[in-house]
Chains A and B, each alone.
Chain A
Amino acid sequence: MARVLVVDDAAFMRKVVSDALNRGGHEVIGEASNGAEAVARYQELQPELTTLDITMPEMDGLAALKEIIALDPRARVIMCSALGQESKVLEAIKAGARDFVVKPFKADRVLDAVGKALA
């Protein structure tokens, strides 16, 4: 069971991801709606795991991932991307993301990725 930071610019997706995590027994300790906020919240909350959307205003998920990994090379980050963003996903994995889930996703897929990232 992990303390998780959920990052997505859509409040709707933050709710969907948080609900899935809560059902899986994880604790959502914070949310952020853009990359810059994600980096700030990461430093402040030190989550065990972060879910990161890719397309966001201000700073996108990929840039936020790189900053988070620079701050904490052992950060566990799972990317959430829409179908068709495979090249971004690849770049994210190279930059240190542990896994990715493609939207639309089922709750089980999120929990699966979280379980693997924590293992």
Chain B
Amino acid sequence: MTPEEALLRIGESTGAAVATALAAYCPDAVECAPPILVDTDTDPVAGVPLPAVLADVSYVDGVRGGNLFLMPLPAVRALAAAMMGADPQEAVAAGEGDELSELELSAAGEVANQMMAAAAAGMSTVLGQEVEIAAPETRVIAAAAEALAAVDSATAVVSVAIDVLGHRCRLVQLVPHAFVVRMTRALDDLDAEFPAADDDVAAPGEEREAAVPADLLGDVGVRISAELGRVNMTIRRAVGLAPGAVVELDRELEDPIDLYVNGRRLGTGRLVTLDGDEWAVRIDTVAFETAPEKGD
């Protein structure tokens, strides 16, 4: 893989992690464009109306590098409203022309913290070491140059356009060249270990690999399994099961089944058949558990 490809992969997976974190507050209202490499002729903050709020989250300990999330003022207002459970459009209309409140600025910093924590976790997995983030610094900027003061000749810049609640925002990553080299090597190793899966429908009972495009883990293979039901019995009865015995499960025919990713519950789904001869699962709900499921 070339360093450029590695940079695009970093941009793509960080963008996906960021979009996923944002979508927790405004589902269906986040869209992430493909990353672009920024050179002297491209404007890394193209399309974002200024002034805008800049949330700066640096990686510390594991790796070095900066992540800038640039949001125009109405986007911050809308997102803060969504995070509080209020109506984003109404909040933007009501606040038209007003300065952002401390609370709204703080919400921007908080959401930047949440999305970069998710991105850092992906980075940790790829590199095989902890990557930590610093607390976010949030300020309002009036010119793009203020955002990019830290860029020097030893830093590559990747920019990802992310639309949030109808407002163009941008994730701008400042990636030191030394880190690009490490990342290129780590991604090459991963690709050799886990070739990308070609399709993402898993059949029940069958365990296989599928891709999770959530963050830098994007190309790491995981096992998706579908669980039809459970039953508790004594060990005496279990060891006494013979061919032909019928074990009743705890679910009705119409009940949803559970889906697991590497043992963690991903959500629920319905069994369907594909072309009449292959089992498949249609996802009903997605609620990824953050702790491994314990058998109960």
**CB–CB B107/A104 < 8 A:** no
**Which residues of chain A are near B107, meaning CB under 8 Å?**
10, 12
A55 and B135 contact, CB distance less than 8 A: yes
How many B residues face the partner with a CB closer than 8 A?
A: 28
Residue picked from B25, B114, B120, most chain A C-beta under 10 Å: B114
Check if B113 sits within 8 Å of A10, measured CB to CB.
yes
CB pair B102–A86 under 8 Å, yes or no, is no
Contact B117 A84 (CB under 8 A): yes
In the bound complex, do residue A83 and residue B117 qualify as a contact, i.e. CB atoms below 8 Å apart?
yes
Instruction: Tell me the B109-126 residues at the A interface (CB within 8 Å).
Output: 109-110, 113-114, 117-122
Cα of A103 to Cα of B24 in the assembled complex, Å: 10
Whether A13 contacts B118 by the Cβ 8 Å rule is no
A10 CA to B83 CA, complexed, in Å: 13
Q: How far is the CA of A10 from the CA of B108 in the complex (A)?
A: 9
Q: Does A82 lie within 8 Å of B24, measured CB to CB?
A: no
Q: Is the CB of A82 within 8 A of B135?
A: no
B106 within 8 A of A: yes
Query: Which residues of chain B are near A81, meaning CB under 8 Å?
Result: 117
Q: Is B106 a contact partner of A103 (Cβ separation < 8 A)? A: no
Distance in angstroms between the alpha carbons of A15 and B101 in the assembled complex: 13
Min CB–CB distance B80 → chain A (angstroms): 7
A102 — which chain B residues lie within 8 A by C-beta?
A: 290
Contact B83–A12 (Cβ < 8 Å):
yes
B117's contact among A11, A57, A85, by CB below 8 Å, is which? A85
Question: With contacts A12-B80, A13-B110, A84-B122 known, is A55 near B103, CB below 8 A?
Answer: no
Bound form: Cα–Cα A86–B133 in Å = 14
**CB nearest to B20 among chain A residues:** A83
User: Which residues does chain B contribute within 8 Å of A9, judged by CB atoms?
Assistant: 109, 135
Please report the number of residue pairs spanning A and B whose Cβ atoms sit closer than 8 angstroms: 63
Nearest CB in chain B to that of A83: its residue: B118
- Chain A interface size band reads 20 to 34
Q: Is B84 an interface residue (CB 8 A)?
A: yes
| Nearest CB in chain A: distance from B164 CB, A | 14
CB of B52 closer than 8 Å to a CB of A: no
A16 at the binding interface (Cβ < 8 Å)? yes
B134 within 8 A of A: yes
> Which residues in B have their C-beta under 8 angstroms from that of A15?
103
Residue of A nearest to B108 (CB): A12
Task: Give A117 to B247 CA distance when docked, in angstroms.
Answer: 38
B115's nearest neighbour on chain A, judged by CB, is A82
Distance between Cα atoms of A57 and B107 in the complex (Å): 16
Q: Are A86 and B290 also in contact (CB < 8 A) when A10-B106, A12-B103, A12-B110 are?
A: yes
CB 8 Å contact bits of B8-40 with A (1 = contact, 0 = none): 000000000000010011000000000000000
B163 located at the interface, meaning its Cβ lies under 8 Å from any Cβ of chain A in the complex = no
- With A15-B103, A104-B24 in contact, do A55 and B121 touch (Cβ < 8 Å)? no
Cβ–Cβ contact B135 & A104, under 8 A: no
Q: By the criterion CB–CB under 8 Å, are A10 and B133 in contact?
A: no
Q: Which residues of A contact B134 (CB under 8 A)?
A: 55, 57
A residues near B109, Cβ cutoff 8 Å? 9-10, 12
Near A by CB (< 8 A), chain B positions 88-114 give 102-104, 106-107, 109-110, 113-114
Chain A residue nearest to B107 (CB atoms) is A12
| Beyond A10-B109, A84-B120, 4 extra complex contacts between A and B, CB < 8 Å | A16-B83, A55-B133, A56-B135, A104-B24
- B interface with A by C-beta (< 8 Å): 21, 24-25, 80, 83-84, 102-104, 106-107, 109-110, 113-114, 117-122, 130, 133-135, 215, 290-291
Considering the complex of A and B, which 5 residue pairs feature the smallest CB-CB distances, nearest first? A84-B121, A82-B117, A12-B106, A10-B110, A12-B107
